[in-house]
């Protein structure tokens, strides 16, 4: 009997079921990969902030407790992505001793006629400084909603861990840059609902019309 004869081929219904099964398996694998990718984003961010990997600074619960006689110049960089805001650092740089608690101020102005919520993403250059640059207080720890035509002042309280001075990758680096980028955090309708909760800053103040 010829292998191409009708009686040698599987029934059409069996072939259709087999194709359907393959399609279901492929769709399930693809869906699982997409879900894993989305889940990986917050996990990766948490890992970076915990370890300082990829230049992420760390959140500290207490000051360093030790100050050494070695200074470090800290520069500040500010950026905006897809927001009608003006974002600036009130100081371009500061010189601090390693282990000393520093205080820097930033200003954000919402130039639009509606409240908008943003979230700041941050990192440190060089990347090797990430594990040692720690913040006690920062507007980047949560979303910030700013009222229309309002300027908000935010403080950042930080220090550089004294271990910075002993690490072969960092001990000869006398300058680090702390960089922030504000991105939209929620959809416009959600921001509208948050108007009554507009940010006054972490220890800062909100001023209309600036």
Please give the radius of gyration of the chain, using alpha carbons only, rounded to the nearest integer: 26
Dihedral sign of CA atoms 148, 151, 152, 154 in order: positive
Any idea what the CATH number is for the domain that residue 169 is in?
2.60.370.10
Split into its structural domains, the chain has a count of 1
Instruction: Give the tens place of pLDDT for each residue, 83-109.
Output: 999 999 999 999 999 999 999 999 999
Per-residue confidence at 14, pLDDT binned at 50, 70, 90? low
What are the distances in angstroms from CA 104 to CA 69, 134, 173, 203?
21, 13, 21, 12
In a domain, 129, yes or no: yes
Instruction: Give the tens place of pLDDT for each residue, 150-189.
Output: 999 999 999 999 999 999 999 899 999 999 999 998 654 4
Range of the domain at 125: 58-208
In a domain, 192, yes or no: yes
d(CA 198, CA 144) in angstroms, rounded, equals 8
- Provide the pLDDT for residue 27: 63
In a domain, 25, yes or no: no
Q: What is the DSSP string of 60-126?
A: -SS--S---S-EEEEEEEEEESS-SEEEEES-SEEEEETT--EEEEEEEEE-SSS-EEEEEEEEEES
In a domain, 109, yes or no: yes
71-80 and 144-146 strand pairing: unpaired
In a domain, 18, yes or no: no
In a domain, 16, yes or no: no
pTM summary value:
0.65
In a domain, 73, yes or no: yes
- Provide the pLDDT for residue 3: 53
CB-based contact 123:52 (threshold 8 Å): no
In a domain, 50, yes or no: no
């Amino acid at each position: 009997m010829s292998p191409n004869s009708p009686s040698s081929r599987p029934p059409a219904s069996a072939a259709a079921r087999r194709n359907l099964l393959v399609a279901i398996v492929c769709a399930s694998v693809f869906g699982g990969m997409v879900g894993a990718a989305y889940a990986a984003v917050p996990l990766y961010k948490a890992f970076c902030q915990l370890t300082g990997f990829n230049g992420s600074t760390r959140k500290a619960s207490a000051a360093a407790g030790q100050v050494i006689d070695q200074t470090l110049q800290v520069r500040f960089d500010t950026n905006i992505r897809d927001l009608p805001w003006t974002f600036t650092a009130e100081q371009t740089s500061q010189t601090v001793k390693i282990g000393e608690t520093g205080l820097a101020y930033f200003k954000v102005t919402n130039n639009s006629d509606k409240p908008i919520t943003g979230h700041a993403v941050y990192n440190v250059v060089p990347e090797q400084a990430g594990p040692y640059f720690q913040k006690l207080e920062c507007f980047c720890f949560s979303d910030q909603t700013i009222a229309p035509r309002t300027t908000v002042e935010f403080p950042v309280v930080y220090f550089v861990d004294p271990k910075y001075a002993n690490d072969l990758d960092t001990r000869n680096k006398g300058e680090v840059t702390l960089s922030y980028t504000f991105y939209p955090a929620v959809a416009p309708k959600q921001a509208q609902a948050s108007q009554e909760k507009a940010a006054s800053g972490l220890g800062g103040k909100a001023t209309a019309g600036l």
